[in-house]
Amino acid sequence: MADYDEFGMLHENASEAGLVVEPPSVDRRWVDAPSGNRLSALVWGDGPPELVLLHGGAQNAHTWDTVALALGRPLVAIDLPGHGHSDWRTDGDYRPQAMATDITAVAEQLAPDAATLVGMSLGGLTALTALATTPGLADHLVLVDITPGVNQEKAAEIAAFVDGPPEFESFDALLERTMAFNPTRSRSSLRRGVLHNARERDDGTWVWRYDQLGDRLLDLDTQFLDLWEAVSALTVPVTLVQGGLSPVVDDDDVAELRRRQPSAEVIVVDAAGHSIQGDQPVELARILDGIAST
pLDDT tens-digit profile of 183-206? Answer: 989 999 999 999 999 999 999 999
At position 42, the amino acid (one-letter code) is L
Contact 287, 241 (CB under 8 A): yes
For 97, half-sphere exposure in the C-beta direction (CA atoms, 13 angstrom radius) is 9
* pLDDT (0 to 100) of residue 281: 98
Q: Which of 55, 97, 49, 91 is nearest to 74 (CA)?
A: 49
> Would you tell me which CATH number, out of the four given (3.40.50.1820, 3.40.50.2000, 3.40.1480.10, 3.90.180.10), belongs to the domain 11-148+226-292?
3.40.50.1820
User: Which pLDDT score, from 0 to 100, does residue 219 have?
Assistant: 56
Q: Write down the pTM of the prediction.
A: 0.97
CB 78 within 8 A of CB 103: yes
- pLDDT 10s digits, 94-152: 999 999 999 999 999 999 999 999 999 999 999 999 999 999 999 999 999 999 999 88
Q: Contact 24/80 with Cβ under 8 angstroms?
A: no
Separation in Å, CA 55 to CA 11, 167, 210, 260: 21, 22, 12, 24
Rounded to 10°, the helix 171-181/187-197 angle is 120
- For residue 285, the surrounding DSSP H or E stretch is helix 281-292
Annotation marks residue 274 as catalytic: yes
Are 117 and 131 spatial neighbours (Cβ–Cβ below 8 Å)?
yes
The one catalytic residue among 55, 83, 140, 274: 274
H or E element at residue 117: strand 116-120
Specify whether 196 is catalytic.
Answer: no
pLDDT for residue 1? 57
Q: Annotated catalytic, 188?
A: no
Neighbours of 248 (CB within 10 A): 21
Asked if residues 236 and 208 have their Cβ atoms less than 8 Å apart, the reply is no
Q: Sheet holding 51-54: strands in order across?
A: 26-32, 38-44, 75-78, 51-54, 116-120, 140-144, 238-243, 265-269
Which of 102, 145, 253, 279 is flagged as catalytic? 145
Rounded distance, CA 142 to CA 116, Å?
7
Confidence at residue 217, expressed as pLDDT on a 0 to 100 scale: 47
Contact between 195 and 9 under an 8 Å Cβ cutoff? The reply is: yes
The residue ranges of every structural domain in the chain are 11-148+226-292
pLDDT score of 215? 46
| C-beta of residue 26 within 8 angstroms of C-beta of residue 7 | yes
Kindly give the pairing relationship between strand 206-208 and strand 198-200.
antiparallel
DSSP-derived secondary structure letter, 198: E
pLDDT reported for residue 221 = 55
- Counting Cα atoms < 13 Å in the Cβ hemisphere of 73 gives 23
Backbone phi, then psi, for 272, in 5-degree steps? -130, 135
Kindly name the residue from 35, 40, 86, 121 that is annotated as catalytic. Answer: 121
Signed CA dihedral, 183, 161, 227, 222: sign only: positive
- Give CA–CA dist 43/52, Å, rounded: 9
Other beta carbons less than 10 A from residue 188's beta carbon: 13
For residue 23, what pLDDT is reported? 79
Write out residues in the chain with pLDDT < 70, as ranges. 1-2, 214-222
Cβ-Cβ contacts under 8 Å for 226 (sequence gap 6 or more): 148
